[in-house]
Structure 1
């Protein structure tokens, strides 16, 4: 997992949206209440906050010490381990749930499914959940897309179902399901610009490109009234330990 968010850890924690309670309810509906939880790439705890509602001991892996510091301060009862999933050595006793919020793409693509499956206890469940940032107003969507494309015409966008396809295609899981929730948060211009500053494509740009992006978004959002209504597409991919067809 590449550490790109540490320099904006506090901002990330402030402006990134959390997850609706429906995600937690879907996890329980699918696999019951877990005895123990391992969270991968926990960041500052957006997913952690949701998972704590399951009332089970939780270990959170977060390789960036700056993100981990925020996580510890917010959730002192959580065991925070500063390690990437690929470096982590599982203790005796395997978790009943492995969860990952907005970080599955940072795990090694060649090993993440097998590693997670091997780390789970018998009958364990994988839950990968994330937001896809869309826009309720297609005019706003086009205006914002035009600005960002002018700054970086090569930026890649993952498909809406890429996690489901990745988990299903690995061949190590059974009963793979995808569930979705839509919410429509409204962001003021300033808060939306702050949100933009927490996205990894933005953080990887040069300072000049970052300035161009923010100035372009500032003008575009002024053009449609000073706020942005997101269509936040939250997906949850669930799977059980064991190959398809296992009983």
Structure 2
């Protein structure tokens, strides 16, 4: 996850936040205001903004010192742990809510669900949420997909409900469900390209490939009048730690 520290300022500026309904859904699922919240991979605090609105003691787990520094300034009421989720030691009785916004895929698939279960209090809630960047114009979506495939056909998008299926397949939780939110987000050409510049698949490519990608996408946006309208879809997966581990 430390790949994003190099673009922390840009990340904070252009990454869209989350709908307030995410926090409401977490509280409702929990059965009332939880006693504590911990967030995995908090970044610059896009998800933290929503979680902080719950108004309870909060721990932000973030391995990149540049991101963690931003969190400390932006959320002085939160305890910021500099390190990975794997390095973090949860409180003895666990946390009431363990959340993760757009970072679940960075955790070890073999252990992330077990670690999450172990970090929760009995009956506590796991809340995984993230955006899927679709496009309001189907023709523009096809043109952008074609440009990206021409640049690097190995990059594949995860299914929208992949976190739900990941949690279900682990067998570690009960009452697994999904909540969905969506809205249109218009972006100028420059704003869209700046957003793309904060994506993991972009940041892990060589600089020359990054520039080729921006040039290709910029041309596509120009061909559509210089604007992109994102069909921004937010998926929230909720799950509960059972009193006993399912056999």
What TM-score, normalized to structure 1? 0.96
Once the two structures are TM-superposed, the CA of residue 245 in structure 1 deviates from its matched residue by 10
* Distance of 1:7 and 1:241 partners within structure 2: 36
- The answer for the alignment partner of 1:13 in structure 2 is 12
Once the two structures are TM-superposed, the CA of residue 113 in structure 1 deviates from its matched residue by 0.7
* Distance of 1:124 and 1:98 partners within structure 2: 8
Answer whether contact 1:171 1:243 (CA < 8 A) is retained. Answer: no
Structure 1's consecutive aligned runs of 4 or more residues displaced over 3 angstroms after TM superposition are 243-246
Structure 1 portions without partners, runs of 5+: none
Answer whether contact 1:62 1:82 (CA < 8 A) is retained. Answer: yes
Answer whether contact 2:123 2:243 (CA < 8 A) is retained. Answer: no
Once the two structures are TM-superposed, the CA of residue 79 in structure 1 deviates from its matched residue by 0.7
What are the superposed Cα offsets for residues 125-181 of structure 1, whole Å, 9 maximum, x if unpaired? Answer: 100000011001011111111111111111121111110000011101000001101
* Distance of 2:209 and 2:90 partners within structure 1: 41
* Distance of 1:145 and 1:151 partners within structure 2: 10
Q: CA RMSD in A?
A: 1.4
Is residue 118 of structure 1 aligned with residue 118 of structure 2?
A: yes
Deviates further, 14-23 or 83-92 = 83-92
Answer whether contact 1:172 1:243 (CA < 8 A) is retained. Answer: no
- The answer for the alignment partner of 1:29 in structure 2 is 28
- The answer for the alignment partner of 1:3 in structure 2 is 2
Answer whether contact 2:40 2:100 (CA < 8 A) is retained. Answer: yes
**Which aligned pairs between 1:63-212 and structure 2 lie closer than 5 A?**
63-212=63-212
Secondary structure at 2:3 match in 1: coil
What are the superposed Cα offsets for residues 156-210 of structure 1, whole Å, 9 maximum, x if unpaired? Answer: 2111111000001110100000110111111111000000100011111111111
Answer whether contact 1:177 1:239 (CA < 8 A) is retained. Answer: yes
Answer whether contact 2:39 2:48 (CA < 8 A) is retained. Answer: yes
* Distance of 1:210 and 1:17 partners within structure 2: 21
Once the two structures are TM-superposed, the CA of residue 91 in structure 1 deviates from its matched residue by 3.0
Once the two structures are TM-superposed, the CA of residue 40 in structure 1 deviates from its matched residue by 0.4
- The answer for the alignment partner of 1:46 in structure 2 is 46
* Distance of 2:150 and 2:244 partners within structure 1: 44
* Distance of 1:244 and 1:199 partners within structure 2: 38
Secondary structure at 1:50 match in 2: helix
Once the two structures are TM-superposed, the CA of residue 238 in structure 1 deviates from its matched residue by 0.4
Deviates further, 88-97 or 64-73 = 88-97
Deviates further, 83-92 or 5-14 = 83-92
Answer whether contact 1:171 1:244 (CA < 8 A) is retained. Answer: no
Answer whether contact 1:24 1:53 (CA < 8 A) is retained. Answer: yes
